[in-house]
Chains A and B, each alone.
Chain A
Amino acid sequence: MPYDDRSLVEFSGVRHGTVGLAVVWLCSAWAASPRDPGPADVDRLLRARWQKEHVTPSPKVDDARFLRRVYLDLVGTVPSTDATLAFLADAAPGKRDRVVRALLDSPRFAVHWAHYWEGVLLGREMGGDRVDRAAFRDWLRGRLEQDAPWDQVVRALVTATGQNSKGGKRRDDEEASFMMVGKMAPTPAAPDESPQAVPAEQPVNGAVNWYLRYADAPADLAGNASRAFLGIRIQCAQCHDHPTESWKQEDFRRFTACFARIRRQPLEKGPIMGLRRIVVDDAKRPQFGGPNAMNAELAEIARAPPAALDGTSFAEANSPREALAAWMTQPKNPWFARALVNRLWGHLLGRGFVEPVDDMRPSNPVTAPEVLEALAQDFAKDYDLKRLFRRLCATQAYQLSSDAVTGQPAEAKLWSRYPLKPLGPDDLLEAIVAVTHIAPAIELAGGDNLDKVRLALRRQFVNTFDVDEDSDRVDFEGTIPQALMLQNGSLVNHGVTAVPEATLKAVLDAPGTDEEKMKILVMRAWGRSPTPSEVQRLVAFVNAPHPLSPFRKDDKTPDPLGRLQKLTQGEKPTPKSQAYEDVFWALLNSSEFTFNH
């Protein structure tokens, strides 16, 4: 439904404060790329499936919705209005692939996916004073920025040695990212940390923090390696043998034993505040001890000869974890490429070929195995993550609309329509900040600086959502606190007001009719032009007679953004200005905003 977008173009012309990514894709000029296998064979295979199972896929998604989708999936935020309008105006062929490539090369891609992998590899817990999450994230981001192939990333992680951190205080952003159990108090040296001479300071290798996160629980380290890199939940075999599964307890122990010789030596001993600097290397013998020294299971693991999941023995290897890393990442490994392809397909398309995405045990059925195989074989040629993203984003399945097909069951089958994916806490917070453009007003109002406010909000958001970052859930798992925050929370409710430089201020100040203003507001919030009936409804709403809602001065409820109030003190709210705020509020609370669709 093409709609007159003139007002939008005019609006975008006078806009200031473009969000970082706004025009990034425009600036990118691409040399003709070497011919790589397009998504055609994937499309062909999937279409054959659809035909066989009488599934009618939804139509292709329109450009505006595609752009929002690909921004959220690749860089974790929504496009600015400028970016959307430029994309819509681009008439040259191949623009969808062009924008995907520009996003993959933008700094935000590395930041967003480093955060994703941090969640998968470290989980949500802080990990005590040993784990420098920021150093780990920096390391991941560097690998992604430098286009490191996936096999090299994994090899570097599994074999990492060196120092975890520069020490000192935790960076604020990591404190805010994760739900903490209790407060961080000074921690003593763990009793297992041996009385050897203090090792010399070394260059920081953030990768060792992955090991340190699980240093007291080698079984968890092995379990995480197996799930994240091989898509196998070997840890199911930790507790008992299961008659129908391939791996027995002894296999699990032997796999875990690959990590048994990793040694950690702290540079500081005794109680410290902040992060403890630790040097990680390999010892000649298994290193288990500490508070779990009496744990019989650990003794069993220390005794087990190290081996891979297919039984390949590393008992004679000089370094079992180097041998394991080599075994994992060799092209012959049946799980390595499939695990990553399945995970990313599941992340982008809502469901993996195998579900859960990290449970590819032989008895777990695969949907459309031929598609998984085609993608995995191609990925194993170079383990190029960005090439894989490009391929996935170019598939017909990824570019389907999320609308249900008339006359078809609503339930999506075989990825016959794009899923509704709830925005996670970080993406939602970013999207609200971006869409409301409230940051300059927060700065203007003084007091805590923007970063502090952001951190406080982030902490609230993350705590409120109760999500498991490690799992890409397709089911809607909203919570009551989350619903309360979207409706009554400080960020949304100040964000929808006409404070200086904020979106609503620009909308109200722009010349034009209510119709034109609504087009701007909807484009800003939803990243698309409204339909005529939507415009009509919203215009009718702001022009209906409303009583003025008074400000409750005597209400003592704390409001983290209360200072913004003084920025609009001179201006008396009118029923109509409040109605505009209500429209913006409804747009931000809508499913079209809170889902990636």
Chain B
Amino acid sequence: MSLPRRDFLQWTLQGALCAAFAPWGAARGAPAPAPKARACILLWMNGGPSQMDTWDLKPGAPGAGRFKPIATRVPGLSICEHLPLLAERAQHLAVLRGMTSSEGNHQRAHYFVHTGYAPNPTLQHPSLGAYVSQELGAANPELPNFISIKGASVGAGFLGVQNGPFIIQDPKRPPLNVTLPKMVDDTRFLRRRALLDALEGDFAARTRDDKISAKHKVRDQSIRLMQSPQLPAFDLSLEPATTLAAYGDSDFAKGCLLARRLVEAGVRFVEVVLDGWDTHVDNFGRTQALMATLDPALSALLDDLAARELLDSTLVLCMGEFGRTPALNGNEGRDHFPQAWSAVLAGGGIRGGQCLGATAPDGSRVVERPTKVQDVLATAATLVGMDPAKTFDTPVGRPISLTDGGKPIAELLA
């Protein structure tokens, strides 16, 4: 089944042109392409997953480990045997095996991968969630636009707390304090607010300070959330048992299902944290258990989004703060390794079913199509219709670009 030579040439030429000119055009402020993604779900693999035991297996390498690769629905792409459901859905996935960065400390890398910038205390950079939620605006003004489940994500920095994450610690319960206390009914709450408004009126008249109206604005938003007909979006008990079962039993699975419900309700950015990938000790046991959580949850999420025709408009990102060493340490573990790692994207209109970049046979470095974190963020920004080179004025007066010079990954932008 050989490709006709002329077509092949045309195809590669187009690819090359696309790769060469797309970012340049964007940097010049050319009209951004029509956005494909209307929402983004970041599955945050906290601790830094071992790429050599998940997405980029190296059979035969000195530190190969004990897992075997399995074929996927995409010819030539194989992933770990403990991700069988995702192997069945690889046509949706873009596996980036050429991720490379230089932050090897959890906290610094957590910040870096979320924002595209190394932490610098002189400036709080906004995270991807913050600018996506700001750029796309509220589809549903009653709900927070950026929700982080089971972890804190990274805030909005200089974009302001209104773009920061609304944190949900337990996906099985409604958000904290969103319901009235048990001794307060609606009438009583109205009465309380009326009295409070009267007291506030006096203080506001005396001080005439803007901070009071700012406070009231936030309070009004909180009340809209309490009274929102969209509140059932947080209620997983409304899902059929078969759906709940498909995602799996873990809190992460519940978080993924909640993410889908929230995106359906109009939330723009949802982050779901799966913690535990910092496998300095017992790498294989722990990584296998985590894959057993990730595999059904992400698979069900992709199926669910596809069934609702939301997959093309919802970008799903799955990554952690860095990878892990190709060599094993003395504790059957792997240590931090930012030099060469993997990230996975799906949906949002990207071209799935491909693998980009490659590492050396021993996994020690990227040998093909190195990809920077900033490029992934620029890709996400482009997909939601932002110009990744757009600059923002910071409080210190220095303009900075959203993605620190990241270039959208042309091969993904179908």
Contacts and interface: CB of A to CB of B under 8 A. Distances in A.
A565 B392 CA distance: 51
Contacts of B209: 402, 404, 410, 420
Nearest to B404: A239
Interface stretch (A17-25, A195-203, A480-488): A480-488
A216 interface: yes
A589 interface: yes
Interface stretch (B57-65, B75-83, B218-226): B218-226
Interface SS, A side: loop
A191 B195 contact: no
B68 interface: no
Contacts of B46: 181-182
Contact of B47 (A182, A553, A555): A182
Nearest to B184: A549
Contacts of A537: 198
A125 B167 CA distance: 17
Contact of A188 (B174, B226, B329): B329
B207 A550 contact: no
Given A183-B275, A235-B121, A476 B214 contact: yes
B215 A480 contact: no
Contacts of A242: 398
B203 A476 contact: no
Contact of A181 (B151, B165, B185): B151
Contacts of B166: 480-481
A195 to B, nearest CB: 13
Nearest to B273: A182
A224 interface: yes
B152 A236 contact: no
A217 B108 contact: yes
B395 interface: yes
Contacts of A191: 335
Interface string A574-595: 0000100011011101111011
A429 B203 CA distance: 22
Interface stretch (A324-332, A460-468, A502-510): A460-468
Interface in B96-125: 102-108, 110, 119-122, 124
A551 B188 contact: no
B339 A223 contact: no
Interface stretch (A95-103, A111-119, A286-294): A286-294
Interface in A256-312: 271, 290-292, 294-295
A582 B191 contact: yes
B138 to A, nearest CB: 13
A475 interface: yes
Interface residues of B, number: 82
Interface in A480-528: 480-485, 487-490, 493, 497
A50 to B, nearest CB: 19
Contacts of A271: 280-281, 331
Contacts of A476: 210-212, 214-215
Interface stretch (B23-31, B175-183, B300-308): B175-183
A178 B276 CA distance: 20
A193 interface: no
A492 B209 CA distance: 25
Contact of B176 (A478, A481, A497): A481
A549 B177 CA distance: 18
Contacts of A180: 152
B164 interface: yes
B182 A422 contact: no
Nearest to B202: A534
A140 B315 CA distance: 47
B107 A125 contact: yes
A236 B200 contact: no
Contacts of A322: none
A573 B181 CA distance: 15
A206 B250 CA distance: 40
A590 B275 CA distance: 39
A236 B396 contact: yes
Contact of B119 (A220, A239, A402): A220
A294 B182 contact: no
**How many residues of A sit at the interface, in one of the four size bands?**
35 or more
A244 to B, nearest CB: 10
B73 interface: no
B347 interface: no
A7 interface: no
A179 interface: yes
Contact of A488 (B105, B178, B331): B178
B192 interface: yes
A188 B218 contact: no
Contacts of B167: 463, 481
B203 A558 contact: no
B152 A488 contact: no
Contacts of A586: 192, 195-196, 199
A172 interface: no
A477 B161 contact: yes
A339 B199 CA distance: 39
A18 B223 CA distance: 36
A485 B121 contact: no
Contacts of A238: 120
B195 A583 contact: yes
- List the 9 closest pairs (A to B, CB-CB), nearest first: A291-B104, A410-B208, A476-B211, A483-B222, A484-B177, A549-B188, A478-B218, A493-B181, A404-B208
29 contacts: A125-B107, A179-B152, A180-B152, A182-B46, A217-B108, A223-B122, A224-B121, A235-B120, A236-B396, A236-B398, A410-B207, A420-B212, A463-B152, A466-B165, A478-B218, A479-B164, A480-B218, A483-B221, A484-B175, A484-B177, A487-B222, A489-B177, A546-B188, A549-B185, A573-B183, A582-B192, A586-B192, A590-B200, A591-B203
Interface of B: 46-47, 102-108, 110, 119-122, 124, 144, 151-152, 155, 160-161, 164-167, 173-185, 187-188, 191-192, 195-196, 198-200, 202-204, 206-212, 214-215, 218-219, 221-223, 225-226, 273, 275-276, 278, 280-281, 329, 331, 333, 335-336, 338-339, 395-396, 398
Given A291-B105, A582-B195, A591-B215, 17 more contacts: A179-B152, A181-B152, A183-B275, A227-B122, A356-B396, A466-B164, A480-B144, A481-B175, A482-B218, A483-B218, A484-B177, A484-B178, A549-B188, A582-B192, A586-B192, A587-B199, A591-B204
Interface of A: 123, 125, 128, 179-183, 185-188, 191, 216-217, 220, 223-224, 227, 233, 235-236, 238-239, 242, 271, 290-292, 294-295, 356, 359, 402-404, 410, 420, 422, 460, 463-464, 466, 468, 470, 475-485, 487-490, 493, 497, 534, 537, 541, 546-547, 549-553, 555, 557-559, 573, 578, 582-583, 585-587, 589-592, 594-595, 597
